[in-house]
Amino acid sequence: MKEDAYSLILAAIEAGTYRPGDRLVESELAERFGVSRTPVREALQRLETQAMLVRDGRSLIVASLDHNQLAELYTVRAELEALAARLAARHATPEEIRVLAQMVQEDQRCIGNPEALARANKRFHHQIHLASHNRYLVQQLDLVHRTMALMARTSLAAEGRSETALSEHKRIVDAIAAGDGKAADAALRQHISMAWETRLKLEAQADHD
């Protein structure tokens, strides 16, 4: 039950049900998810240890990332994701490559729906992580993507970003399918760089507004 409470709260943060700055109340969470308060309390402590939640007096709130934390996160993400793409080019099975290609095609239907595309994007990247066939890398990337849930909005909401992101996904898959680790690495780095640049523009616009 402890794991259930933790997973439920984490999923709610990832889905945007609870956003950075939102206060999490033990009794409300227990009622919402239909679990007792003890596993909720332990789940909150675990999320605080993972820096997903921070103290505000006696309360716990969903953490937010400042500019420097975002920059550090994207730096680490670029390195780990590029390594995953490089390893996937070497180790991905034909079935995994076909699944990736199908994802790119099917995700076209999400254009114009940033939230749906953000979920599809997460699935796509996780599939590349799995195709690397390196369990330790997958664990580290799970941690990175969990922290990314603390971003208040997706960079895919920016005008025109949906289309370009999917074309970048296709280049990544093409390189993996060709077994070209160097090209897969470069395509993934370019993809993360464009996502970071887009987020910087969104943040600048939000500050201006």
User: Mean pLDDT throughout 43-64?
Assistant: 92
pLDDT at 118: 86
The CATH number of 67-208, from 1.25.40.10, 3.30.450.40, 1.20.120.530, 1.10.1740.10, is 1.20.120.530
The Cα–Cα gap between 93 and 84 comes to 14
Which option is the CATH number for 2-62: 3.40.50.300, 1.10.10.10, 1.20.1740.10, 3.50.50.60? 1.10.10.10
Residue-level pLDDT at 208? 59
Domain layout of the chain by residue ranges: 2-62, 67-208
**Mean pLDDT confidence for 37-53:** 93
pLDDT of residue 197: 93
What integer is the mean pLDDT of 64-78?
A: 93
Residues of the chain with pLDDT > 90, as a percent, come to 67
* Beta-strand pair 53-56/23-24: unpaired
Distances (CA, A) of 72 to 33, 79, 185: 34, 11, 19
Q: Specify whether the CB–CB gap between 104 and 92 falls below 8 A.
A: no
Q: Write down the pLDDT at residue 2.
A: 47
pLDDT value of residue 205: 75
Give percent of the chain above pLDDT 70: 95
Confidence of residue 57 (pLDDT cuts 50, 70, 90): confident
Average pLDDT rounded to a whole number, residues 21-25: 94
Asked if domains 2-62 and 67-208 share a fold, the reply is no
Cβ-contact 1, 39 below 8 angstroms:
yes
pTM (predicted TM-score)? 0.85
Predicted confidence at residue 154, as pLDDT, reads: 73
Report pLDDT digits (tens) over 91-103.
Answer: 999 999 999 999 9
HSE of 25, CA atoms in CB hemisphere, 13 A: 4
Contact 51, 144 (CB under 8 A): no
